[in-house]
Each structure stands twice: as structure tokens, then as C-alpha cells.
């Protein structure tokens, strides 16, 4: 609608004398439009949001967390030799297209090519650090007639490459073994190798805070990828995300009860707009604001790990949609509680309790899933991922439970857990999605074994169920809000 | 009719808030709605605003069924004990309500500035409502009701918490609105103010409409006078057709004559002159008896008398 129309007409029921008495009424005849209503509610929500003092505490807490993280120093430790050995041994199998974070050594057993490779000597050209080059002697043993001698080009093409990953690059290569040795199945090469793009993530690094004051990874260090993953998890989906969502729950819990308060509600309900718009736009407005805060949080986490570790893989940015969808669910619970009880405290408590139930049920469900997997694998060798094997973890056989003990999923508590979890939105899986992406980015699986082994993990179902619950809670809230007398 | 209500009923559970109210209000009227707490005033207004659905009966506003968006575009409302969101400033709040009302940005800014100026709130645009006094909140509440130029205003206690000068300003503002053709509903417990301001009043009691009419009709003469003489009136003095009763003030008595019905007398002016004749004759007789007049006052039934009679007894006095 363009501009304002003025009208001097009187109501259809007005009689002539009243019209004369009344003179001319300047009236504003305009209709609300959806964008105008939406923008107005958004600005209203924005004001209310900024009015909350606790928001500034949140920003302070996150700033402190980031400040601490920024004192972090990550320094590589010597350790190149083990990665040369791994690169040589891995050439015994065809590893094209496998995922070293998730697939086990046993998975690739069928891919063995009948040759054995070993590093017999290795000397760093410069320092024993992730950027340094090495002078290496490598031998290959194979069965003559079954296997063929390999050319320098073939070795250059395969050495240091596992799946899509690149640990090493061959800079120079020269076969030094005798022709006689070659005939009986032994080849030797002198090579100069340079680090590949993925070597750094596997390389052991020390991680200290407060200028070496606090040592987080021990003197031998841990793989850089693992350190970055834990840091990103802690700051984005872990502590940082939890604090931010908790504060957002506290701030937004007041929105609906304040709106439906007697004396305030009437001023909104008399407007010529449907009631559901008030509620839904307030909801969307709050969601957009929290999205902005989450965007800042996740973006800054990405920047911080980039700055202190020089790792810029964008997997952590997935935490934004994951946390936002989770918050959308919490906010819908808060809105529904706010509409029903009109109490800020109730909205806050019910939302936090709902969150706690989701968390506890999710954790217990993980235990149940793990117990199922464990039972299915009794007697088998528990898979160990290649990345773990690289770090020296040995495969273990899964022992049966002691006689008389039932696996958790078959206990009463386990059955209740699985039953309750089935009725909840599987928000765990949204978090798992982020974790899995981080694991892929940084080629680590260790702390997330259960997740990797869980056949039931499906982020699509988690997303679908979460959105379904969110929409359902909102719809109930809108229905109650539209029908109730103020 | 601006408002037309027929046999309106509202039941809240076991509680009957309105029990068959019928009412018609003409345009450009200042209409006072009176009654005790719980009499059904607010329920009636909420039904007219479309906030509450009636249990039975019909109500229309400007010829449209109540609650429709076209009807709601024409009304301004100031609720009782309204609580304006405290995180807003005057301008941001009017901007919000204006936008929800559908007013384009430039127009609502201009209109908000005019209203804030008119209501004495100019110069405080940066102050959050949290820091407002009760009177300021009340003025801002009025501003939001007037923002979109409504044709019907529903004001619940519009001068609540406002100082006497502010009250006068608000009364003038409402008179001006009426002059411009706006119909104003006022819910108030300040009977003096309603009497001073309103053209018509209705009194509700326990969900029923007890009486409705113009203020001058309802507060007609009582046919009694307060008279003070230089000394106590001797018991021996008498006057045919007059009754005497003592008042709260020593030395003054209430002299009652049978009120002359305007219809029986032919006209209100004739009834008035008949009554004046009666008091003149009474005073002449008193003078002849040696009594000197020190005080004379004609008694009118105030709205308060009427209201209290209805509230206590349930009928016309």
C-alpha cells in the first residue's frame, strides 16, 4: 500500500445531525501488511533482547573464554619418523578411497597387495618438524613372478597417500638396489620426501595456555587435529554453545510471558492482525537474534583456532545450524510454556528441564546403543580405526559380560531409556553430525567411538524429528493463544 | 449507530459477567460507563473490541460485527491498569503499535511526534518507559489509543494517576475528539469527572444495564433546597406542602417540596419555575415569621447519588 489514504466519510449508521455535529474526522485507513508486522515485531524483540542485562554477562563470559583460548600456544614436537614408517607400511594395501577416520585396519585386510615395505633409514634434512623434509631409504619385498617390480613413478604416486589424505610427497627418488636383488624380489629406493598437506594434523603438538603456564597435551604432545577438534568442540558446541544457549533460554523465556501479561496483551490484541502472527513473529524474531549470536560465536571459534593453530577447515561452521535447530526446539517449548502459564520462571524452568531430559535420555540411549553393539561383537576383534592405529592403539577382542549380567539395553532401565528416547526429538544426532564432520576434517575418531559404531545415527532423522516437535509445540501454543480470552 | 448491542451475555464458567445487555450509542458521543468492580464494564468493552467472544447476543461496531479487522482498524483502546512494555521509549512504542495498526513508517513518525507534543511528552523521547511516572504512562497510553485516528475510543480510567492540570488537558483533548466526530467510551470511577465530561452515561450492576440516559436527564432536580437562617427554626413555624429535615451542617435544614414532573408541568422550564415559586413563597413566609436567610442552595441529584442508589439498592432513587 502506498502512502496513507485519508477519508472524511462517516460510518454507515451515522445520521445527518450527528454528521453535522461531528464535523470532519481525519482518519487513517491503512491495512497492516505481513512484512510491516514482521519488521515491527522484530524490532520489538530486538529491543527487549538488548534490554536484558544477562546478555551482557553472556558476552563477557564468552569474551573471557575466548581470551583464555587466545593465550593458547600450539607447538609441534619431534615425531616424523613414525609417520614415515606408517606411510611405508600402508603401501602394502590399496587404500584408495577409504576413510582413515572411520575405517579400521581390519576393513582393508582384503586390499593387501602381497608386498611389504619398510623404512630402513631416515634422516631429517632440516628439523624433525611437520614442515621438514627427510632423506629416506625404503625397501620393498615381494614374491617374484607373483608380483612385479615397481617403477620410481609408481612409488612416487603411492608413497604417503592414504585414501584422499596426503601425508607425504616424494620430491626426489632413485632406485639403488642391484638388478640381482630385484630379480629375487627386493627393491631399494633413496628418496627425499616433503610433508603433504594432511601431515600436520596428525603430527604431535604441545598445547599450552597462559604462555606455557598450563600444559594441556603433555610433553610428547597430541595430534594437532585432535587438539583442534577438542578446542572447537569445547568452544562451539560444548561450553561456549551451552552457555550461549542457556543465556538465550533465560533471556527469551521472558518474551512471551511479558507479552501475554494482563494490561500488555490487550494493547496487542486490539490491532487488526491475527493473533498467531504476534506469537510466531516474536518467535522468529528471537530465533534470528540467537542465530546472530550463534553465528558470532561459531565464527569467532573458527577464527581463533585458525589463528592459534593455523587450521582453517570449515567443519566447525556446521555447529551454527546444529545449535540453531536445537535452540528452535527449546524456544518453542519456552513459548508454549509461556502461553500456558504466563510465567517467566515456569517458561525458564520447563525449558531447562526439557533440555536436561533430552541430554540425559540422549546419553543413556548412547549407553544402550553401545551395549547392543558390544553384545553383537562379543568374541570379535573390536575395530580400531587407521587413525587410531597410527597413534599406537592396539586392537582388542570384545569380552563377553560376566555371567548373570545383562547388557544395559535389556535391563528395565535400558528399555525405559530406549522407549523414552523414541518419543523425543533426537537432538543428539544434530550434535553427532557436527562431531562426525570434525572427525573427518581432523582424521580422529578416538573419543567418539560409540558414535562411529552406532548404526542408528542419522542426522536427517534427528533434524526431521526436531523440526517436527518444534512446529508441533508452536502450533499448540498458537491454538491456545488464539482461542483464549484475555 | 456507532455501537449497537443486543441481549449481550457473557458467562465465565459459573460466573455471569454480562446478563443480557442492550445498548445503542450514537456517533460523536462521550459515553460514560459506570458500575462497581465486577459489574461487567470491562467485559462489555472487551466484547466490543473483539477481545472476548460473547456467549450470546450480538454486538456491532460502526455497522460491522465486532472483532473483524475492519472494525478493529477503527478503534483505539486504553485498558485499565495497562502495562506498556518497559523496554520501549515513547517513540519506539508508538512506532510498534502504529506498524501493527498498519500505518506506514513516515506517517506513524509524524503522528507520534504530534501526539507526544500534544500530550506533553515531547523532549523525553530517549527515556525508557521504565523511568516514567504513572501520569506519563497514562498520557502515553492515551497517545497509543489515538495514534491511528480511530473513530471510536474505549478508555478505561483515562485520567488515572494524572495530576489536575493534566486531567484538564485530557478532558479538553477528549472534547476535541468528540468535536471531530469521534465516539468516546469512558470507564471511570471518578463520577465528578464523568458528570462534567460525558453526554450520556450507563450504569451497570452485576452484568445488567440498570439505567442509561443523558447526564442532565439523570441528574434532574430533586425538588429540595438547603436553607440556613440566622437562628434555629422554631418548631412552631410551618409551611404547607413542605417537609423539613436536618442536614449535617448545624443551622441548615433541607426543605423539600414535591418535585414537579416536567411532563405534568408541560415543560422542564415550567417545572423549574413552579419549584422556584414554591421556594419564594416559603421564604416570604419565613421572613414574615422573623427569620432572616443566611444561606440558600438548590439541591440537584448528582451522578454520585444516582450511582450510590443503584449500587446499594438496585433501583432508581
Residues 38-77 (B) with a CB less than 8 A from some CB of A:
46, 49-53, 62-63, 69-70, 72-75, 77
Tens of pLDDT, residue by residue over A243-271, are: 899 999 999 999 999 999 999 999 999 99
**Min distance B193 CA to chain A CA atoms (Å):** 22
Tens of pLDDT, residue by residue over A431-440, are: 888 887 887 7
Among partner residues A18, A43, A270, which is closest to B28 by beta-carbon distance?
Answer: A18
The C-alpha cell at B234 is: 422554631
Closest CA to B51 of B71, B35, B34: B71
Across chain A, mean pLDDT equals 83
Tens of pLDDT, residue by residue over B197-210, are: 999 999 998 889 98
Q: Is B161 on the interface with A (CB under 8 A)?
A: no
Q: Is A143 on the interface with B (CB under 8 A)?
A: no
Are B149 and A26 in contact (CB < 8 Å)? yes
Question: What does the pLDDT average to over A332-346?
Answer: 96
Residues in A touching B111 (Cβ below 8 Å): 28
Burial A117-152 (b: 16+ CB within 10 A, else e): bebeebeeeeeebbebbbebebbbebeeeeeebbee
The answer to whether residues B107 and B174 touch, using CB atoms and an 8 Å cutoff, is no
Q: Across-strand partners of B211?
A: B203
Question: What does the pLDDT average to over B3-21?
Answer: 91
The C-alpha cell at B295 is: 444561606
Are B77 and A29 in contact (CB < 8 Å)? no
A54: pLDDT strictly greater than 50: yes
Tens of pLDDT, residue by residue over B13-29, are: 888 899 989 999 999 99
Residues 252-311 (A) with a CB less than 8 A from some CB of B:
258, 261-264, 266-273
pLDDT given for residue B43 in this prediction: 92
pLDDT given for residue A45 in this prediction: 94
A452: pLDDT strictly greater than 60: no
**Min distance A46 CA to chain B CA atoms (Å):** 10
Across chain B, mean pLDDT equals 88
pLDDT given for residue A485 in this prediction: 81
A455: pLDDT strictly greater than 60: no
* Distance separating alpha carbons of residues A408 and A421, to the nearest angstrom: 15
Are B102 and A22 in contact (CB < 8 Å)? no
* Distance separating alpha carbons of residues A300 and A306, to the nearest angstrom: 9
* Distance separating alpha carbons of residues B111 and B117, to the nearest angstrom: 10
% chain A with pLDDT above 70: 84
* Distance separating alpha carbons of residues A267 and B148, to the nearest angstrom: 13
The answer to whether residues A192 and A171 touch, using CB atoms and an 8 Å cutoff, is yes
Question: What does the pLDDT average to over A114-139?
Answer: 89
The C-alpha cell at A399 is: 569380552
Q: Is B92 on the interface with A (CB under 8 A)?
A: yes
Are A11 and B49 in contact (CB < 8 Å)? no
Are B111 and A28 in contact (CB < 8 Å)? yes
CA angle A172, A174, A179 (to 5 degrees): 170
Question: What does the pLDDT average to over A30-49?
Answer: 91
CA angle B46, B51, B53 (to 5 degrees): 90
Closest CA to A481 of A314, A315, A257, A322: A257
pLDDT given for residue B211 in this prediction: 86
Minimum Cα–Cα distance from A482: chain B residue: B51
| Phi then psi dihedrals of residue A48, to 5 deg | -65, -40
Least confident of A6-10, B14-18, B60-64, B284-288: A6-10
Residues in B touching A14 (Cβ below 8 Å): 2, 27
Are A28 and B99 in contact (CB < 8 Å)? no
Are A485 and B107 in contact (CB < 8 Å)? no
Among partner residues B1, B63, B77, which is closest to A270 by beta-carbon distance?
Answer: B77
* Distance separating alpha carbons of residues A150 and A191, to the nearest angstrom: 14
Residues 217-246 (A) with a CB less than 8 A from some CB of B:
none
pLDDT given for residue B128 in this prediction: 95
Residues in A touching B81 (Cβ below 8 Å): 262-263
| Alpha-carbon Rg for chain A in angstroms | 31
The answer to whether residues A308 and A279 touch, using CB atoms and an 8 Å cutoff, is no
Residues in A touching B156 (Cβ below 8 Å): none
Minimum Cα–Cα distance from B95: chain A residue: A40
* Distance separating alpha carbons of residues A59 and A432, to the nearest angstrom: 26
Are B102 and A272 in contact (CB < 8 Å)? yes
Are B46 and A24 in contact (CB < 8 Å)? no
**Min distance A29 CA to chain B CA atoms (Å):** 8
A374: pLDDT strictly greater than 90: no
Find where cell 422556584 sits: B276
Q: Is the dihedral of CA B157, B161, B167, B170 positive or negative?
A: negative
A3: pLDDT strictly greater than 80: no
A456: pLDDT strictly greater than 70: no
**pLDDT range class, residue A28, cuts 50, 70, 90:** low
Among partner residues A10, A19, A40, which is closest to B100 by beta-carbon distance?
Answer: A40
pLDDT given for residue A279 in this prediction: 95
**Min distance B1 CA to chain A CA atoms (Å):** 5
Choose from B17, B64, B85, B150 for mutation: most chain A CBs within 10 A: B85
Residues in A touching B50 (Cβ below 8 Å): 270
* Distance separating alpha carbons of residues B33 and A38, to the nearest angstrom: 36
Residues 60-119 (A) with a CB less than 8 A from some CB of B:
none
CB atoms within 10 A of CB B115: 22
CA A102: distance to chain centroid?
Answer: 17
The answer to whether residues A412 and A354 touch, using CB atoms and an 8 Å cutoff, is no
Choose from A3, A4, A277 for mutation: most chain B CBs within 10 A: A4
Are B149 and A27 in contact (CB < 8 Å)? yes
* Distance separating alpha carbons of residues B139 and B218, to the nearest angstrom: 31
Are B180 and A23 in contact (CB < 8 Å)? yes
φ/ψ region of A218 (left if φ > 0, alpha if ψ in -120 to 50, else beta) reads left
Between A and B, how many CB-CB pairs are < 8 A? 157
Residues in A touching B145 (Cβ below 8 Å): none
CA-CA distances (angstroms) from residue A87 to A78, A83, A224?
A: 17, 6, 18
A314: pLDDT strictly greater than 90: no
Q: Give Cβ neighbours of residue A257 (< 8 Å, ≥ 6 apart).
A: A338, A341, A342, A343, A344, A346, A347
Residues 187-226 (B) with a CB less than 8 A from some CB of A:
none
Q: DSSP of chain B, one letter per residue? A: --EEEEEEEEEETTEEEEEEEEEEE-SS-EEEEEE-TTSSHHHHHHHHHTSS--SEEEEEETTEETTSHHHHTTEEEE-TT----TT-BHHHHHHHHHHHHT--HHHHHHHHHHHHHHTT-TT-TTSBGGG--HHHHHHHHHHHHHTT--SEEEEESTTTT--HHHHHHHHHHHHHHHHTT-EEEEE-S-HHHHHHH-SEEEEEETTEEEEEEEHHHHT-EEEEEEEEESSPPPTT---TTEEEEE-SSTTEEEEEEPPPPHHHHSSHHHHHHHHHHHHHHHHHHHHHTT--EEEEEEEE--HHHHHHHHHHHSS--
Q: How many residues does chain A have?
A: 486
Closest CA to A365 of A296, A268, A450: A450
CB atoms within 10 A of CB A411: 14
- SS3 for chain A is CCCCEEECCCCCCCCHHHHHHHCCCCEEECCCCHHHHHHHHHHHHHHHHHHCHHHHHHHHHHHHHHHHHHCCEEEECCCHHHHHHHHHHHCCECCCCCCCCCCECHHHHHHECCCEEEEEEEEECCCCCCCCCEEEEEEEECCECCECCCCHHHHHHHCCEECCEECEEEEEEEECCCHHHHHCCEEEEEEEEEECCCHHHHCEEEEEECCCCEECCCCCCEEHHHHHHHHHHHHHHHHHHHHHHHHHHHHHHCHHHHHCCCCCHHHHHCCCCCHHHHHHHHHHHHHHHHHHHHHHHHHHHHHHHHHHHCCCCHHHHHHHHHHHHHHHHHHHHHHHHHHHHCCHHHHHHHHHHHHHHHHHHHHHHHHHHHHHHHHHCCCCEECCEHHHHHCCCCCEECCCCCCCCCCHHHCHHHHHHHHHHHCCCCCHHHHHHHHHHHHHHHCCCHHHHHHHHCCCCCHHHHHHHHHHHHHHHHHHHHHHHHHCCC
pLDDT given for residue B150 in this prediction: 93
% chain A with pLDDT above 90: 36
Are A271 and B97 in contact (CB < 8 Å)? yes
Residues 27-56 (A) with a CB less than 8 A from some CB of B:
27-33, 36-37, 39-41, 43-44, 47-48, 50-51
B312: pLDDT strictly greater than 90: no
Minimum Cα–Cα distance from A256: chain B residue: B85
Are B107 and A28 in contact (CB < 8 Å)? yes
Q: Is A9 on the interface with B (CB under 8 A)?
A: no
pLDDT given for residue A2 in this prediction: 39
* Distance separating alpha carbons of residues A86 and B170, to the nearest angstrom: 88
Question: What does the pLDDT average to over A104-133?
Answer: 81
Q: Is A413 on the interface with B (CB under 8 A)?
A: no
Are A36 and B99 in contact (CB < 8 Å)? yes
A49: pLDDT strictly greater than 80: yes
**Min distance B211 CA to chain A CA atoms (Å):** 23
CA A116: distance to chain centroid?
Answer: 39
CA-CA distances (angstroms) from residue B5 to A27, A336, B53, B182, B198?
A: 24, 35, 13, 18, 20
Closest CA to B181 of B4, B2, B27, B1: B27
Q: Is B87 on the interface with A (CB under 8 A)?
A: yes
Are B100 and A37 in contact (CB < 8 Å)? yes
Closest CA to B227 of B214, B212, B207, B242: B242
**Min distance B44 CA to chain A CA atoms (Å):** 13
**Min distance B138 CA to chain A CA atoms (Å):** 12
Q: Is B84 on the interface with A (CB under 8 A)?
A: yes
Least confident of A204-208, A292-296, A333-337: A204-208
Amino acid at each position: 500500500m502506498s502512502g496513507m489514504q485519508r477519508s472524511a466519510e462517516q460510518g454507515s449508521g451515522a445520521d445527518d445531525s450527528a454528521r453535522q455535529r461531528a464535523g470532519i474526522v481525519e482518519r487513517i485507513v491503512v491495512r497492516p501488511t505481513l512484512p510491516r508486522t514482521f519488521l515491527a515485531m522484530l524490532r520489538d524483540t530486538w529491543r527487549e533482547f538488548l534490554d536484558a542485562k544477562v546478555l551482557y554477562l553472556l558476552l563477557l563470559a564468552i569474551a573471557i573464554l575466548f581470551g583464555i583460548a587466545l593465550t593458547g600456544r600450539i607447538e609441534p614436537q619431534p615425531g616424523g619418523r613414525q609417520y614415515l614408517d606408517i606411510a611405508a607400511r600402508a603401501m602394502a594395501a590399496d587404500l584408495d578411497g577409504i576413510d582413515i577416520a572411520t575405517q579400521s585396519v581390519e576393513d582393508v585386510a582384503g586390499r593387501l597387495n602381497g608386498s611389504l615395505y619398510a623404512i630402513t633409514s631416515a634422516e631429517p634434512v632440516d628439523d624433525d618438524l611437520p614442515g621438514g623434509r627427510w632423506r629416506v631409504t625404503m625397501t620393498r619385498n615381494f614374491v617374484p613372478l607373483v608380483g612385479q617390480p615397481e617403477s620410481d613413478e609408481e612409488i612416487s604416486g603411492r608413497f604417503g597417500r592414504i585414501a584422499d589424505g596426503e601425508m607425504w610427497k616424494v620430491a626426489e627418488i632413485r632406485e639403488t638396489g642391484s638388478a640381482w636383488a630385484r630379480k629375487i624380489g627386493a627393491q631399494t629406493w633413496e628418496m627425499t620426501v616433503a610433508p603433504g598437506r594432511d601431515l600436520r594434523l596428525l603430527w604431535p603438538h604441545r598445547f599450552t595456555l597462559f604462555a606455557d603456564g598450563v600444559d594441556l597435551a603433555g610433553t610428547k604432545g597430541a595430534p594437532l587435529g585432535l587438539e583442534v577438534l577438542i578446542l572447537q568442540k569445547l568452544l562451539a558446541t560444548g561450553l561456549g554453545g551451552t552457555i550461549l544457549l542457556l543465556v538465550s533460554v533465560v533471556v527469551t523465556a521472558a518474551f512471551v510471558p511479558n507479552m501475554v501479561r494482563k494490561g500488555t496483551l490487550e494493547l496487542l490484541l486490539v490491532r487488526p492482525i491475527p493473533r498467531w502472527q504476534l506469537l510466531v513473529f516474536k518467535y522468529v524474531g528471537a530465533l534470528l537474534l540467537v542465530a546472530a549470536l550463534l553465528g558470532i560465536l561459531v565464527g569467532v571459534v573458527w577464527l581463533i583456532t585458525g589463528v592459534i593453530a593455523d587450521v582453517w577447515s570449515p567443519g566447525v561452521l556446521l555447529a551454527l545450524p546444529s545449535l540453531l535447530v536445537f535452540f528452535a526446539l527449546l524456544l518453542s517449548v519456552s513459548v508454549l510454556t509461556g502461553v500456558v502459564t504466563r510465567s517467566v520462571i515456569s517458561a525458564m524452568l520447563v525449558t531447562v528441564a526439557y533440555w536436561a531430559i533430552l541430554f540425559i535420555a540422549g546419553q543413556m540411549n548412547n549407553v544402550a546403543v553401545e551395549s547392543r553393539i558390544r553384545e553383537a561383537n562379543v568374541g570379535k576383534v573390536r575395530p580400531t580405526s587407521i587413525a587410531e592405529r597410527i597413534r599406537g592403539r592396539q586392537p582388542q577382542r570384545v569380552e563377553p559380560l560376566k555371567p548373570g549380567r545383562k547388557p544395559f539395553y535389556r535391563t528395565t532401565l535400558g528399555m525405559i531409556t530406549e522407549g523414552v528416547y523414541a518419543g523425543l526429538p533426537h537432538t543428539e544426532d544434530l550434535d553427532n553430525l557436527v562431531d562426525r564432520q570434525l572427525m573427518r576434517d581432523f582424521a580422529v575418531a578416538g573419543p567418539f567411538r560409540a558414535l562411529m559404531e552406532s548404526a542408528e545415527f542419522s542426522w536427517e532423522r534427528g533434524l526431521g524429528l526436531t523440526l517436527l516437535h518444534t512446529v508441533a509445540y508452536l502450533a499448540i501454543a498458537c491454538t491456545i493463544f488464539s482461542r483464549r480470552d484475555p | 449507530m456507532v455501537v449497537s448491542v443486543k441481549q449481550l451475555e457473557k458467562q465465565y464458567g459459573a460466573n455471569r459477567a454480562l446478563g443480557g445487555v442492550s445498548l445503542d450509542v450514537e456517533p460523536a458521543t462521550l459515553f460514560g460507563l459506570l458500575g462497581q468492580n465486577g459489574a461487567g464494564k470491562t467485559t462489555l468493552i472487551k466484547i466490543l473490541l473483539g477481545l472476548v467472544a460473547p456467549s450470546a447476543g450480538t454486538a456491532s461496531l460502526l455497522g460491522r460485527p465486532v472483532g473483524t479487522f475492519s472494525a478493529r482498524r477503527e478503534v483505539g483502546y486504553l485498558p485499565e491498569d495497562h502495562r506498556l512494555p518497559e523496554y520501549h521509549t515513547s517513540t519506539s512504542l508508538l512506532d510498534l503499535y502504529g506498524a501493527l495498526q498498519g500505518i506506514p513508517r513516515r506517517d506513524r513518525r509524524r503522528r507520534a511526534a504530534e501526539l507526544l507534543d500534544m500530550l506533553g511528552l515531547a523532549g523525553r523521547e530517549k527515556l525508557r518507559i521504565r523511568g516514567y511516572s504513572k501520569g506519563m504512562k497514562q498520557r502515553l497510553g492515551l497517545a497509543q489509543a489515538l495514534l491511528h485516528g480511530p473513530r471510536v475510543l474505549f478508555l478505561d480510567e483515562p485520567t488515572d494517576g494524572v495530576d489536575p492540570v493534566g486531567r484538564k488537558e485530557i478532558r479538553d483533548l477528549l472534547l476535541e475528539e468528540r468535536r471531530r466526530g469521534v465516539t468516546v467510551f469512558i470507564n471511570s470511577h471518578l463520577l465528578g469527572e464523568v458528570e462534567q465530561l460525558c453526554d450520556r452515561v450507563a450504569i451497570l450492576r452485576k452484568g445488567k444495564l440498570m439505567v442509561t440516559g443523558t447526564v442532565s436527564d439523570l441528574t434532574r432536580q430533586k425538588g429540595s433546597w438547603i436553607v440556613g437562617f440566622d437562628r434555629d427554626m422554631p418548631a412552631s413555624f410551618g409551611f404547607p406542602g413542605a417537609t423539613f429535615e436536618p442536614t449535617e451542617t448545624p443551622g441548615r435544614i433541607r426543605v423539600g417540596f414535591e418535585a414537579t414532573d416536567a411532563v405534568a408541568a408541560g415543560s422542564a422550564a415550567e417545572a423549574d419555575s413552579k419549584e422556584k415559586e414554591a421556594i419564594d413563597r416559603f421564604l416570604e413566609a419565613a421572613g414574615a415569621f422573623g427569620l432572616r436567610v443566611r444561606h440558600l442552595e438548590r439541591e440537584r441529584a448528582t451522578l454520585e447519588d444516582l450511582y450510590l442508589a443503584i449500587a446499594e439498592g438496585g433501583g432508581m432513587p
